[in-house]
Amino acid sequence: MSFFLKRFFVVVIFLFMSDFTFAQKEIQRYEVGRRLIAFEGDFEGIKDPKALKVICERLKPLTFYFFSGQLDQCAKVLDLARWNCKNQGDSGVLRAFADSLSITPARRIIELKDKWLECEIAAVYAVKEKGLLKAKLYLSQIESKEVHDLTLFSIGQLPQKVSVDVQGLKEGEYRLVMELSSEGQVLASHKVLITLVQDKAQLVKSVAETKLKSDALLWKASQHYLIYLLDQLLDGKRFENDIPVNRLVESMAFLKNGLNAVDDKKGSEYLVAFPGKSAPLPARIFIPACAKVNKVPLVVALHGAGATENMFFDAYGSGIVKKLCNDRGWMLIAPRNGIAFENLQSLIKELPIDPERVIFIGHSMGAGQALGFALNHLNEVAALGLMGGAGAVGKNQSLENIPVFVGIGSEDFARASVVNFAQEAMKRPKNKLIMKEYEFIEHSAICQVCLPEMFEFFSMILKR
């Protein structure tokens, strides 16, 4: 049995067990996602080999901790790696303690009539030593950037409860910020998105009663998913990232108005879903402004095991793939857990997509899924991008003339199998595969490093 097949079975077993595990660790999962995005922001642009080597060593345990359910250790690894993006050695005692903390509001969606918001301060992971920290809580409105100071307090016995007055605030999206300091020096800031709405019941009603642009299954499944997602948020469900209520509202406007809802200059992103056997299959989509007048290429981005569609939009280089698509006028969709052929066809039917310019990319398990789709649907894939994963091409299978870009890190646990795949594929006639190995890069960082070069490759392919 191949390494990837063995790992696949391990992942499947883990995912069947993970419903209960992640239900107990929602906060940790959210904190891992938040820390990953923060790390990627500081990691961007680092080229120095010595720094890359140190950061890579920090990140190496990340995959093991994730798939063994040790999310607290994942958060710690990311904090340490982020520190080494700008500093040498380990952070000090107080900085490590400040980094380890989190703030969790009891609710993420608050009505204007509410007076108080309960929050809990807790440690995401254990540190050897603690110290005296001062905390400042404030709300920063995202659109207006107005800042509303809430309270000052000292960090005491953890977990620690704090009640803040939210009276008199305007409707909108806010960052709840906990700024931690010692002797006047800010050591860490932890931010959580919250939304203030006029009336929760009215919000639910408006989503449920929206008239759809079309009665096609794609639009119906998307509406059902948005209703479900809003219900989850109102119940206090936590995900691995922040989900602004405004994104749900804009997504419903898209389901109602179609391309007319897309921003004429910047394009727009939405939450959608494909029909599934038992429930809608979530996805995130970005539609460039030029799709309002022309058919455009489509990039289908498949995430790794244990992740979701949010990875390519919020992580994997802080969502760099969306920028790369926007710069080229390409559409992007990131489905959860792969995509079925019939769902891809329904998307092409409903939206202005050039069916001859559909590109598949994937990371880790998603790379295997992308490869599998291409092997089974040769005429549907214009190019293929594999990062930190691949698979095998059977004796009676061929990628024929599909251009393939393979990116792998020199320190990736999957390197041997990916290199073997690339070498075997390049032996076959008519292959159009190139492989790029990135020194000192491991599994979790390969997308951020590889994607810009991969998209240059795709641009050349589509120009031919």
CA distance 392 to 408: 16
Residues 103 and 141 in one domain: yes
In this structure, are residues 65 and 44 in contact, taking their beta carbons and an 8 Å threshold? Answer: no
Q: Tell me the backbone φ, ψ of residue 397, rounded to 5 degrees.
A: -115, 160
Q: Same domain for 397 and 261?
A: yes
Residues ≥6 apart with Cβ < 8 Å to 162 = 118, 119, 120, 121, 137, 151, 153
- Side by side, which strands form the sheet with 101-105? 101-105, 116-123, 160-165
CA distance 205 to 64: 43
pTM confidence score: 0.92
pLDDT tens for the chain, 464 residues: list them: 343 434 433 443 333 334 444 444 788 999 999 999 999 999 999 999 999 999 999 999 999 999 999 999 999 999 999 999 999 999 999 999 999 999 999 999 999 999 999 999 999 999 999 999 999 999 999 988 899 999 999 999 999 999 999 998 999 999 999 999 999 999 999 999 999 999 999 999 999 999 999 999 999 999 999 999 999 999 888 888 899 999 999 999 999 999 999 999 999 999 999 999 999 999 999 999 999 999 999 999 999 999 999 999 999 999 999 999 999 999 999 999 999 999 999 999 999 999 999 999 999 999 999 999 999 999 999 999 999 999 888 776 778 789 999 999 999 999 999 999 999 888 887 789 999 999 999 999 999 999 999 999 999 999 87
DSSP state of 290: G
Q: How far apart are CA 438 and CA 451, in angstroms?
A: 12
Question: Do 365 and 458 fall within a single domain?
Answer: yes
Structure tokens at 381: 């894939």
The full length of the chain comes to 464
Range of the domain at 331: 200-463
Answer yes or no: do 62 and 125 share one domain. no
The two tokens of residue 154 are: 């000292």
Residue at a domain's end among 197, 227, 260: 197
Last residue of a domain, one of 72, 91, 110: 91
| 204 and 140 within one domain | no
Q: How many separate domains does the chain show?
A: 3
Task: Name the DSSP class of 303.
Answer: P
| Whether residue 156 is found in the same domain as residue 267 | no
The residue out of 91, 118, 148 marking a domain boundary is: 91
- Identify which of 265, 272, 259, 261 has the alpha carbon closest to the alpha carbon of residue 329: 265
Q: Two tokens at 350?
A: 């409903």
